[in-house]
Structure 1
Amino acid sequence: MTLDRFYPIFDSADWIERLVPLGIKLVQLRIKDAAPDVLRDNIQRAKRVCAQHGCTLIINDYWQAAIEAGCDYIHLGQEDLDDADIPAIRAAKLRLGISTHDKAELKRAMALAPDYIALGPIYPTILKKMKWHEQGLAKLSTWRELIGETPLVAIGGMSVDRAQGAFDAGADVVAAVTDITLNPSPEDRVRAWLRVTR
């Protein structure tokens, strides 16, 4: 399965319902600290709109909820891996993307034969406080060499203007978060992303 080059990440089904119909083909639902019923509702709504529009939905972190909802793709950070039941995830035939920041994390992730590897933050990000400083484009190129054919996702501080640089450095996919949701016109921003990634 080839991943689309544009990979927005949203924190609610509201965003997914609003923006996926514009032509997004790969999206992540990343909700933090949601009550189980709220989480289930968001996953079901996101699943519905993604199915209608031929968009691949990736659920962040909540692998049990993803299995229960019949999803087919999850994304796990390094902390998530500590608690995740990888055999159960594999048994459920879930595809798996994994975040990495350094070579030790990359080695751990690659041992799980992931469906993609994410590296970030490529640029400084306002999304969350991180112990990792910006990784830079050169590190993307290093990761490209290290992971072979595994798809590589660039994340962190990415914008429409920076996308091509990430592709040139070896990324297959560019993930965007606040560049869309904090834009005065998220719809126009998504259209701009689609133009530079298609």
Structure 2
Amino acid sequence: MVQGIVTAHPGLALPVDTRQSVTFSSDQAVYCAAKEACLALGFIETDAECLGAAWQAMVQRTGRFDPTAWPDRPEDFRIRPWPRSDAFASCPQRLGLYAVLPDAVWVARMARAGVATVQLRFKSDDAQAVEREVRAAVQAVQGTESLLFINDHWQAAIAAGAYGVHLGQEDLDTADLQAIRSAGLRLGLSSHGYAEMLRADRHSPSYIAMGAVFPTTLKRMVTAPQGTGRLQAYTRLMRNYPLVAIGGIDQSKLPEVLSSGVGSIAVVRALVAAQYPEEMAASLQAAINAAA
């Protein structure tokens, strides 16, 4: 079974981390074989654990083992059905071009350029500076059609009346999610594989971001770039959500990413490092719209 799964899914393979310790939470044959196969494909241990359990559930549901299949049914991962009473406010299923920007000046510039979704990723330990920048970003998108998400600074986002907040996995332990929900803000959550996607889903966010798809120098990533093969698998599983692909995406890689079925593409350097950012934004947005 192990080799059958590995051989059937070369598009999901990444370099294997031989330092991983392996434990099994069950002695069920399909679970054990599938987890071992997923580790051989380069999935980290927590993701392989999720996949092993999902493979076991898939075989029990279908009554047969097919190594060419891949679990992508929400019920096999114990994902709750929709609608949900605890869901955050909804956002468009396709968020289009999603620009991650360093300050309110860039937010204003890209909002005026017609970028569908903008995120303020302002890095500062000065609470007053954060509040000023968030307020300026909220004001910058007024009169435009851009949707504004604030990265990390959820208190300032609530106070300023932003459209939404984007949080990383590390923020889930400290942010007051109920306060964000009660304020009516949308919530986007980052994920870097199956275990983090399932953790994000338990909070019923407005959208889920998935990456890094390609290598990126902007953030130190604890997981390897996932590639478009895995992105396609993630997209099939989490199809009930608006999904955002992020990480190392530029104009040359856009067609490959869009072929996964994801509805939004997040870019950073592709815009802020472009010689003509407005023209680049228009080109990227047109390509995304054409694929919709």
**TM-score interval, smaller chain:** over 0.9
- Alignment equivalent of 2:263, drawn from 163, 172, 176: 172
**Match 1:161 to one of 252, 256, 263:** 252
Answering whether residue 139 of structure 2 is matched by residue 48 of structure 1, we say yes
Greater RCO (CA < 8 Å, at least 6 residues apart): 1
Q: How many positions carry a matched residue from both structures? A: 198
User: Percent of aligned pairs with the same residue?
Assistant: 36
Structure 1: gaps of 5 or more residues: none
Report the 3-state secondary structure (helix = DSSP H, G, I; strand = E; otherwise coil) of the residue aligned with 1:143.
Answer: helix
| Inter-CA distance 195–72: structure 2 relative to 1 (3 Å threshold) | closer
1:136 to 223, 227, 234: 227
SS in 2 for 1:33: coil
Shift of 1:34: 4.1
Match of 1:20 among 106, 111, 136: 111
**For 2:125 and 2:102, how far apart are their aligned partners in 1?**
10
Q: CA deviation at 1:195?
A: 2.2
Counterpart amino acid of 1:9? V
Partner of 1:69: 160
Match of 2:201 in 1: 110
SS of 1:174's equivalent in the other structure is strand
User: 4+ residue stretches of structure 1 with deviation over 4 A?
Assistant: none
Q: Please state whether the residue corresponding to 2:172 is helix, strand or coil.
A: helix
1:192 aligned counterpart, secondary structure: helix
Relative distance call for 1:24 and 1:34 in structure 2 (3 A) is farther
Identify the structure with the greater strand proportion: 1
SS of the residue 1:52 aligns to: coil
C-alpha distance in structure 2 between counterparts of 1:33 and 1:197, whole Å: 32
Distance 2:206 2:261 in 1: 16
Residue in 2 that maps onto 1:146: 237
Aligned residue among 171, 182, 187 for 2:278: 187
Deviates more, 1:45-54 or 1:118-127: 45-54
Q: Which has the larger radius of gyration?
A: 2
